[in-house]
C-alpha cells in the first residue's frame, strides 16, 4: 500500500480542515441535543455523511480514502462525530442490505438528517456480550409482535426515537438460530427507559424495559431467525481506523508535555513508560492502515476488528492511567479548573475509559474471538 497522499487528497484534507474550523459546534454546544442535530445536518449538507451507503439514499460521494481523511481531520480538530453515528454505521447499512423498499424509504432519510435518533439493543442482564444468549422475547400475534424483556447498557436510549433490537422469536435449534431483528418506535406504550448513572456523573448508557410492547410485523427486518446474521454483519462496520491513531497522538503529546513540565521526561522509568505508549500508538496507526488497505482492496476481515477493538480500548486505559499517575495528587482534580495541570481532563478521562473495555464487546470476548478465529486455538 502506498502511504503517501496524492495532491488531490492533500487538497481535500485542506478543504475539510478549513470547513471544520468554520462550522464545528462550540464546546458549550456539544452537550446540547439540538446543537448536535444541527451539526450532523451541516455535515450531511456538506456531503460528508454515509459514504458507505448507495448514492440513491442520499449518501456522500466520498472515496474510502476521502472518508478516512475526513475522520482524521474531525479527530484532529476534536470535533464531535454525528449524533446519529450508530444509525449511520450499523442501522442504516443493515436496512439497506436486509430491508424492504418500504422500510428503506421510511427509515433511511431521517437517519442522515438526524431527524430520528437510533439506539441499538443487544446486551441483556445475564448475557452481556454474549448476544446469542438474548432472551428478550417477541411473540407473533396477528399483524404484530408482542415484545417482553430487558436490554442494558443501551447507548443514547434516553434521547432515541427508534430501537434496533435483537429479540428471540424461537427457542428451537441453536441459540443463535432463533433470533430476529425488530425496529421499535421508542414512544410505543410499554417501553421504559432508565438512565444508568456512570462513575463520571454522565448517563450515556441506559436500561430499557419492554412490557407487552406491540410492534407491527412490517417492522421485522429481514426474516424470522435472521437476526444473528444481521447483527454480526452490522458490527463489522465498527472499526477503529486511522482517526483513532490521531487521538492517541494527541494524548501522547499532552502526556509528554506534562512529563517535561514536571521534570519527569529524563527519568529512566518514566522514559520507558512513555516509549511504550509511543510504540503502541504507532501500532494503532498500522492497524488503521491495514483496515484502510483492506477496504480499498475489497477485503473483509471481521476478526481483525476484534483485535483492533481489544488493543485500542486497553491502550486508551493505559493512556489515561499514565496521565493521572504523572500528575500525582493533582490527577484527582476534576476537569474544568484552569488552575489544575491539564485543566483536570485526565481525571475525567481515567473514569470514562473504564467503560471502553466493556462497551461494544468486552475484552474477554475479543480475546476469545482472536484466539479461536485468528490463532486457531481449540475451544475448551
* Residue 224 annotated among the catalytic residues of the structure: no
Spatial contact of 305 and 239, defined as CB atoms under 8 Å apart: yes
Length of the chain: 380
In angstroms, the CA 172 to CA 338 distance is 60
CA 178 to chain CA centroid, nearest Å: 26
Q: How far apart are CA 253 and CA 322, in angstroms?
A: 12
* Buried b / exposed e along 288-323 (16+ C-beta atoms within 10 A): bbbbbebbeeeeebebbbbbbbbbbbebbbebbbbb
Question: Of 9, 224, 238, 335, which residue is the catalytic one?
Answer: 238
Q: Which of 36, 59, 215 is nearest to 142 (CA)?
A: 215
Residue (of 324, 153, 305) closest to 241 by Cα position: 305
Cα dist. 126→129, 134, 146, 198, 366 in Å?
Answer: 9, 9, 22, 19, 18
Which whole-number Å values give the CA distances from 336 to 232, 248, 291, 348, in the listed order? 40, 21, 36, 10
Residues with a catalytic annotation lie at: 238
Amino acid at each position: 500500500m502506498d502511504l503517501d497522499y496524492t495532491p488531490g487528497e492533500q487538497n481535500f484534507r485542506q478543504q475539510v480542515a478549513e470547513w471544520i474550523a468554520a462550522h464545528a459546534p462550540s464546546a458549550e454546544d456539544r452537550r446540547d441535543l439540538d446543537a448536535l442535530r444541527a451539526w450532523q445536518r451541516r455535515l450531511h449538507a456538506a456531503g460528508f455523511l454515509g459514504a458507505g451507503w448507495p448514492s440513491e439514499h442520499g449518501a456522500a460521494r466520498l472515496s474510502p480514502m476521502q472518508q478516512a481523511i475526513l475522520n482524521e481531520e474531525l479527530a484532529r480538530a476534536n470535533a464531535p462525530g454525528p449524533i446519529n453515528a450508530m444509525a449511520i454505521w450499523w442501522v442504516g447499512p443493515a436496512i439497506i442490505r436486509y430491508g424492504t423498499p418500504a422500510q428503506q424509504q421510511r427509515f433511511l432519510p431521517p437517519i442522515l438528517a438526524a431527524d430520528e435518533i437510533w439506539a441499538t439493543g443487544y446486551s441483556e442482564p445475564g448475557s452481556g456480550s454474549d448476544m446469542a444468549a438474548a432472551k428478550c422475547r417477541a411473540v407473533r400475534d396477528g399483524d404484530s409482535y408482542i415484545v417482553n424483556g430487558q436490554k442494558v447498557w443501551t447507548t443514547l436510549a434516553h434521547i432515541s426515537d427508534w430501537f434496533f433490537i435483537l429479540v428471540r422469536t424461537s427457542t428451537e435449534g441453536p441459540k443463535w438460530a432463533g433470533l430476529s431483528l425488530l425496529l421499535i418506535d421508542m414512544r410505543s406504550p410499554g417501553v421504559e427507559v432508565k438512565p444508568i448513572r456512570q462513575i463520571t456523573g454522565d448517563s450515556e448508557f441506559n436500561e430499557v424495559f419492554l412490557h407487552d410492547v406491540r410492534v407491527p410485523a412490517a417492522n421485522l427486518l429481514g426474516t424470522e431467525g435472521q437476526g444473528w446474521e444481521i447483527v454480526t454483519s452490522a458490527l463489522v462496520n465498527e472499526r477503529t481506523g486511522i482517526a483513532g491513531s490521531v487521538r492517541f497522538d494527541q494524548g501522547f503529546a499532552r502526556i509528554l508535555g506534562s512529563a517535561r513540565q514536571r521534570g519527569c521526561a529524563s527519568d529512566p522509568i518514566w522514559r520507558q513508560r512513555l516509549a511504550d505508549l509511543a510504540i503502541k500508538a504507532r501500532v494503532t496507526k498500522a492497524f488503521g492502515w491495514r483496515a484502510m488497505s483492506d477496504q480499498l482492496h475489497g477485503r473483509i476481515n471481521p476478526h481483525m476488528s476484534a483485535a483492533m477493538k481489544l488493543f485500542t480500548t486497553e491502550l486508551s486505559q493505559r493512556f489515561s492511567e499514565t496521565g493521572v499517575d504523572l500528575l500525582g495528587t493533582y490527577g484527582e482534580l476534576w476537569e474544568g479548573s484552569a488552575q489544575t495541570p491539564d485543566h483536570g481532563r485526565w481525571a475525567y478521562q481515567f473514569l470514562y475509559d473504564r467503560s471502553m473495555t466493556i462497551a461494544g464487546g468486552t475484552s474477554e470476548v475479543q480475546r476469545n474471538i482472536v484466539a479461536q478465529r485468528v490463532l486457531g486455538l481449540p475451544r475448551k
